[in-house]
Amino acid sequence: MTDFKAIDRSWTLFLDRDGVINHETVGDYITAWKDFRFYEGVKEALKIFASRFGRIIIITNQRGVSKGLMTEDDLLDIHTNMVEAITAAGGRIDGIYYCLDMHNDSPNRKPNPGMGYMAKRDFPEIDFAKTLMIGNTMGDMQFGKNIGAQTIFIPSNRPAPGLPDPYTDAVYPSLIAVAEDMAGM
């Protein structure tokens, strides 16, 4: 696992959304802002991360739009409100990349690296060798390894992989636990 002392403003943090930032129901979708609930400590964690990382990017699969469960405008409303709440708490999100594609073979659907490449196109200073990916699925972990990132698994609603694992560098109980460990080093 990356030594947190090595992380500075030249690093990028990639975050999954559902199950990391907000409560998720496995097999269901957050389709409106009224259903979005931050995990405890997430806004505080993002404030800590904002002081450490040069870029903070959300990478999220959102096939609920393609399934007709919500519109893209609904998704954008969720993201706008989420970013406003994070910013009001002293945190920051520099970009949000989402994949609406239904099929797993889409180059942009995690675990495929397309959304990471989109972020690098928009933020050319991103160095994948100085990237940390935090997620709650093995697809998130595989995405991280596919771009060359270090990975942290949060078992919010899925069992954590046993370590050592080829895709997972560390397991933490929550985003705030990662941030507190990073801040307290």
Kindly name the residue from 16, 94, 140, 169 that is annotated as catalytic: 16
Mean pLDDT of 169-183: 96
Please report, for the chain, the start and end positions of each structural domain, with discontinuous segments joined by +: 4-183
CA distance 136 to 18: 8
Query: Is 28 considered catalytic here?
Result: no
Is residue 1 pLDDT above 70, yes or no?
Answer: no
- For residue range 27-86, list pLDDT tens digits in order: 789 999 999 999 999 999 999 999 999 999 999 999 999 999 999 999 999 999 999 999
CA distance 77 to 32: 8
Q: Please give the helix or strand (H or E) that residue 131 lies within, else none.
A: strand 131-135
Q: Does domain 4-183 have CATH number 3.40.50.1000?
A: yes
Kindly name the residue from 3, 18, 35, 73 that is annotated as catalytic: 18
Mean pLDDT of 79-106: 97
pTM above 0.85, yes or no: yes
- For residue range 108-160, list pLDDT tens digits in order: 999 999 999 999 999 999 999 999 999 999 999 999 999 999 999 999 988 89
